[in-house]
Amino acid sequence: MRELFTFPICHAHQVFHPCRPCEREQARNQVKNWTAIGWLLTFSVFFMVVLWYSAGGR
């Protein structure tokens, strides 16, 4: 599941034994991806609230 949210950085021979820079880059990408997912959820909730109130809900 984790691989779905990360960018491929290492070469094929480094997948099972990644080098140190690749591990650091992968950790950075995970943090960036979770930050992006958080912002996406925040804005989608805001957008749904705006749609709800514009449709007359309350």
Domain boundaries, the chain: 18-58
CA distances for 17 relative to 5, 11, 23, angstroms:
19, 10, 10
* Three-point CA angle 29, 31, 33, nearest 5°: 65
CA–CA gap between residue 25 and residue 11 (Å, rounded): 13
Give the tens place of pLDDT for each residue, 2-38.
Answer: 555 555 555 655 666 667 777 787 788 888 889 999 9
What is this structure's pTM?
0.54
pLDDT at res. 47: 96
Residue with tokens 């992968």: 26
